[in-house]
Structure 1
Amino acid sequence: MGGEKRKAEKARLRKGINVLISTPGRLVDHIKNTLSIAFSAVRWLILDEADRTLDLGFEKDLTVILNALNATGLARQNVLLSATLTEGLSRLASISMKEPVSIHVSEDSEDTDEACPQAAPQALSDSYVVPERLQQHVVVVPSKLHLVCLAAFILDKCKFEQRQKLIVFISSCEAVEFLLTLFTAVLCVKPSTTSTKQTSTSLNFYRLHGNMRQEERTEVFQEFSVCKTGILLCTDVAARGLDLPQVTWIVQYNPSVSAAEYVHRVGRTARIGAQGSSLLFLAPSETAFVDVLANHNIRCRSAAAFEQEVRDRATVLQTDFENYVHANNKSLQTAKSALQSFLRAYTTYPSSLKHIFHIRSLHLGHAAKSFGLRDAPQGLGSSITTNPANSKDSKKGKDKAKRYCTFSEVGQ
């Protein structure tokens, strides 16, 4: 339940169900307004993505849900599931569990699984585990080359190779829409003006973000799940809770706000023993983020060879992008809005990472180039300090009304 009409959900509840999957807010809505809902037969309560539940502002909703379940007086098993152990997970366990047992599961074998009563997540939160068959890479290029670098990578993997599925994480809804329009217009139309390789596969772009209706998101999810080759441009709406089959590459075009969120993003590939790869984009001023990841046992290899290949293609690709953006006023304004949304999202990095990701460290002219603009628009300084536009991606986190559509999961 959640994201659909309440009337249809009430009808299903009246008929009776065995398994109920719901967002916290919608379940509270039914507890308060649907007479037919009853919890007398509930034996299991499972909270997925438990590490983020309290951070996303659902503490009051969870209290209502737990009180409604506890009112039955029947024994029940509560389960909290998370890929990362955080302080938020410890808080949630104290709210919803009695004498909790922490179970840590590894890919290797049952010998590495362990169950320990009263485990302290804080003690384990410094080190994260990523899939063993995941190859992690980082590319360090100036901001002005980020756009052409991403385009060249997409062309290399999806147009000149078979069965490649990419998920590209982007910091804002507007930037997702802009890149979808730009790549569809420029990369899909011109066969191969930037390479001597023979093209063998058409490019299929998809987009997923919190400003889309639930029906649209469901349709995109289904289409991308069954496609053999494709590129999904998305915000962190796709970072958690989605099982997208046969994803070969995770591209973090905009870095995550924490090592934990990095882990959730790359967790979309190399699933259930499969192989997968990830690529992290960083500007030269952001390279210290590699050390932040290393402090959490996350190691990324340099993709220096790819950097040189991109530089060779940069001039032609950048010219194509700029010509498209400046072709008419509509595309120009779209690019400017996307740039502004990126800059606002950049200001939302936590204080612990401000020494790496600070708006003052950005070269605005170079950032403009990464949106196909020839020069930085006037008035950017004031635009990034104003309140962001109202979007679902902006309403996550401890202050849901003020955060911009940045790096949290959407549409719960």
Structure 2
Amino acid sequence: MDHKPSNAPIDDTSSFKSMGLDNDLVENMKNKLGVEKPTNIQSKAIPILMSSINKNVEFDVIVQSETGSGKTLTYLLPIVHRLINITIDIQNNGLLSRSIGTLAIILTPTRELAIQVVSVLKYLINIPPSKFTSRHLNHWIVIGNVIGGEKKQSEKARLRKGINILVCTPGRLLDHLQNTKSFLVKNLCWLILDEADRLLELGFEETLQSIIKILDEKTINSETKNQIFSSSKFWPKRRQIILCSATLKDDVKRLAGYTLFNPIFIGGNDDFSFIEEKSEKNAKFNTPNQLKQSYIITPAKLRLVTLTAILKSTFKQIRNLMNRKIIVFVSCCDSVDFHFDLFMNAGKINELDDENSDDDKLKNNDQSISTIIPAKIFRLHGDLTQNVRTEIFNEFSRSNSGILFCTDVAARGLDLPDVAEIIQYDPPTDLKDYVHRVGRTARLGKEGEAILFILPSEIEYINVLKSQEIFAEPVRVETLLKSLATQNKRNKNEYEVVATDIQLNFERYVLSNSKRTTLAQKAYSSHIRAYATHVSTEKHIFHVKKLHLGHIAKSFGLREAPSNVNNNLVSSKKLDNKNDHKKEKIFNKEKKNSYDDQKNIKKRNFEIMNEFSVGNYGSMIGPTTKRKRKGFLQISKEMY
């Protein structure tokens, strides 16, 4: 197997300058971004995107390459190069200003990716005085974004003044195209669809169609544009559309069919060709060669302690090292919130609520989780406000180390520096999401690791990965759990005792407070609903009926599977009808019994239970409960 990094900068005679890019732009990119050599996809795509300048012909392009290969710079560099040279060709400063309107629109599926693209653009545009010539670069180019999360009036004000390069999300862009009259797009030259397949997965196909239609109406036959800028060969003769993605499927081809004009396909592992020549049957999901991939078959009842073992072991080994970041992918927002709270607070024994008895506090005073992980914990999902999401994204990017619990909102396009390991705690609901998740590490030729958690009933998923030429090495649960024991206590019984203590302490933490219990129950419920949304081709592997719900509950710190979670959330105000008095009494009695069970749960002798004894399977707390078919077919909005 070739272990040479497949997405690293290539070490040959090819360079950014030899592609024809502006010298000052190349020097600025080297100084501010540390980028000196092009990657494989950049060396193939940039010359093609630049070739239209001399050929006087514009064509649309599809760029497909593995994650972490530098697709953002691939489409940004030719655009910035052209704008710099247009500035040189047209010396009339009155023509070149923000009032000219939007020249390039970059569409991204998530707000975080939009923010990241803007940050890269700021470095590229802010070019210091030339070292190579005496020319003066007029810094007239204004960049900005409209992604929601703020008052629409503020966005309208920025658009009214003029944004030359606009980065946005589809819904917000369509809104402004329809309702903001001062939004000037008649001079639009470039439309970039970044992570095009993800845009379609999120249901933006109709939105994209509407955007293209409006842009066609507002930019067609723009005589003013041709008269003013025809003197510069760098000004595009027609609007160019560029689609970028790490995967290429039929829905992207369909989008290309009604959106792109005579498109050229450029793949990182193929020579460029017309899109019609690219067969999806032969397409494979590519991951970087240097990415070390592994999987662990974990019983549901051991998932939580196994995850803890990985995190503790990682940061114990690199206690004196910097730049170690881990991303943990889970299936839904509630699960992110639960694990964030658990790993942030479960070890803070002295800060437990007063509901805990002194006896409980003494039992909880265990060094096994007193400081669970010596690293900063972050969370990111779609239910957070935009300001919070932006702050978390920036803070995690700047941090030297940390653990990010997140949904697939962070799986696409984000370039988070120094991510050393990806943990897929919940398997992705679609195979291509596996590729995007692991693509957050091993970027631009760097080393990286990715580990996948699967249940014993999901072992066939490894064959699915192999069919796509994704090969992962197995890791034994016992190997990971043994790292929890001290060096002189590595025998079988000792590591089992430590792991059991961690699990029991997690459970005590969850049950110590009604809010924590509710958080765990919500996470459990959302996790089950998310599990039911795996694609149809994988239903034989991931099916709710195969789950042992009692053991799944233990992975959320619950000692038994909630049999009727919704009842705990019902307000007694809904039972004010006279005919419902009897139901109310029953409800209150059940609620009281449930509270008493939790209050007295410490009286049960859980310590005698062996979590690792598969032979004693029937004695485990958390029996499989009856499932209502309707409930598991509902798709929760909390998933993304």
Q: What does 1:159-178 align with in structure 2 at a 5 Å threshold?
A: 159-161=316-318, 162-163=321-322, 164-178=324-338
Corresponding residue SS for 1:357 = coil
Corresponding residue SS for 1:145 = helix
Closer/same/farther in 2, CA of residues 331 and 118 from structure 1, 3 Å limit = closer
Specify the alignment match of 2:449 in structure 1: 277
Q: CA deviation at 1:406?
A: 6.9
Corresponding residue SS for 2:294 = strand
- Structure 2 gaps, min length 5: 1-145, 222-237, 350-363, 485-494, 565-624
Q: Which of 533, 539, 545 is the equivalent residue of 1:360?
A: 545
Corresponding residue SS for 1:281 = strand
Measured in 2, the distance between the counterparts of 1:171 and 1:122 equals 31
Q: Percent identity between the aligned chains?
A: 43
Q: Which of 151, 160, 166 is the equivalent residue of 1:20?
A: 166
Specify the alignment match of 1:58 in structure 2: 204
Q: Is 2:220 the counterpart of 1:73?
A: yes
Q: Is 2:193 the counterpart of 1:11?
A: no
CA contact (8 A) 1:130 1:298 kept: yes
Q: What does 1:157-196 align with in structure 2 at a 5 Å threshold?
A: 157-161=314-318, 162-163=321-322, 164-187=324-347, 193-194=367-368
- Structure 1 gaps, min length 5: 107-112, 389-401
Listed one character per residue, the Cα deviations across residues 165-187 of structure 1 (whole Å, up to 9, x for unaligned) are 01000111111111111111224
The one-letter amino acid paired with 2:635 is: R
CA contact (8 A) 2:309 2:481 kept: no
Closer/same/farther in 2, CA of residues 208 and 200 from structure 1, 3 Å limit = closer
Runs of 4+ residues deviating >6 angstroms: 188-192
Specify the alignment match of 1:335 in structure 2: 520
Specify the alignment match of 1:87 in structure 2: 250
Measured in 1, the distance between the counterparts of 2:561 and 2:499 equals 19
Listed one character per residue, the Cα deviations across residues 164-218 of structure 1 (whole Å, up to 9, x for unaligned) are 20100011111111111111122466999349xxx99832110001110000000
Listed one character per residue, the Cα deviations across residues 284-311 of structure 1 (whole Å, up to 9, x for unaligned) are 0011111111111111111126345276
Q: CA deviation at 1:61?
A: 1.3
Listed one character per residue, the Cα deviations across residues 222-276 of structure 1 (whole Å, up to 9, x for unaligned) are 1100111100000111001211110001100000012211000001111111111
Corresponding residue SS for 1:184 = helix
Measured in 1, the distance between the counterparts of 2:262 and 2:303 equals 49
Closer/same/farther in 2, CA of residues 29 and 142 from structure 1, 3 Å limit = same
Q: Is 2:385 the counterpart of 1:213?
A: yes
Q: Is 2:143 the counterpart of 1:143?
A: no
Listed one character per residue, the Cα deviations across residues 25-60 of structure 1 (whole Å, up to 9, x for unaligned) are 111100111011122211111001111222322122
Measured in 2, the distance between the counterparts of 1:69 and 1:61 equals 12
Q: Which has the larger radius of gyration?
A: 2
Measured in 1, the distance between the counterparts of 2:396 and 2:408 equals 16
Q: Is 2:479 the counterpart of 1:306?
A: yes
Specify the alignment match of 1:115 in structure 2: 272
Closer/same/farther in 2, CA of residues 88 and 50 from structure 1, 3 Å limit = same
Specify the alignment match of 1:344 in structure 2: 529
Closer/same/farther in 2, CA of residues 325 and 151 from structure 1, 3 Å limit = same
The one-letter amino acid paired with 1:151 is: T
Specify the alignment match of 2:313 in structure 1: 156
TM-score (normalised: structure 1): 0.88
Q: CA deviation at 1:8?
A: 1.1
The one-letter amino acid paired with 1:95 is: Y
Measured in 1, the distance between the counterparts of 2:471 and 2:158 equals 47
CA contact (8 A) 1:160 1:201 kept: no
Measured in 2, the distance between the counterparts of 1:131 and 1:18 equals 35
Measured in 1, the distance between the counterparts of 2:513 and 2:373 equals 30
The one-letter amino acid paired with 2:518 is: Q
Q: Is 2:425 the counterpart of 1:253?
A: yes
Closer/same/farther in 2, CA of residues 245 and 188 from structure 1, 3 Å limit = farther
Q: Which of 364, 367, 374 is the equivalent residue of 1:202?
A: 374
**RMSD, matched Cα:** 2.4
Q: What does 1:361-380 align with in structure 2 at a 5 Å threshold?
A: 361-379=546-564
Closer/same/farther in 2, CA of residues 335 and 200 from structure 1, 3 Å limit = closer
Measured in 2, the distance between the counterparts of 1:384 and 1:243 equals 40
TM-score (normalised: structure 2): 0.57
Specify the alignment match of 2:22 in structure 1: none
CA contact (8 A) 1:345 1:405 kept: no
More helix by share: 2
Specify the alignment match of 1:2 in structure 2: 147
Corresponding residue SS for 2:168 = coil
Specify the alignment match of 1:397 in structure 2: none
Corresponding residue SS for 1:248 = strand
Q: Which of 506, 510, 528 is the equivalent residue of 1:321?
A: 506
Measured in 2, the distance between the counterparts of 1:125 and 1:319 equals 49
Measured in 1, the distance between the counterparts of 2:258 and 2:479 equals 48
Q: Which has the higher contact order (CA 8 A, sep 6+)?
A: 1
Measured in 1, the distance between the counterparts of 2:317 and 2:335 equals 25
Structure 1 stretch 310-319 or stretch 183-192: which is displaced more? 183-192
Measured in 1, the distance between the counterparts of 2:435 and 2:373 equals 30
Measured in 2, the distance between the counterparts of 1:282 and 1:289 equals 8
The one-letter amino acid paired with 2:271 is: E
The one-letter amino acid paired with 1:365 is: G
The one-letter amino acid paired with 2:274 is: P
Measured in 2, the distance between the counterparts of 1:187 and 1:203 equals 13
Measured in 1, the distance between the counterparts of 2:326 and 2:505 equals 23
CA contact (8 A) 1:131 1:270 kept: yes
Specify the alignment match of 2:599 in structure 1: none
Aligned length: 386
Corresponding residue SS for 2:419 = coil
Q: CA deviation at 1:384?
A: 7.4
Closer/same/farther in 2, CA of residues 243 and 323 from structure 1, 3 Å limit = same
CA contact (8 A) 1:86 1:122 kept: no
The one-letter amino acid paired with 2:367 is: T
Q: Which of 222, 233, 244 is the equivalent residue of 2:405?
A: 233
Specify the alignment match of 1:398 in structure 2: none
Measured in 1, the distance between the counterparts of 2:527 and 2:435 equals 22
Corresponding residue SS for 1:54 = helix
Specify the alignment match of 1:96 in structure 2: 259
Q: CA deviation at 1:329?
A: 2.1
The one-letter amino acid paired with 1:2 is: I
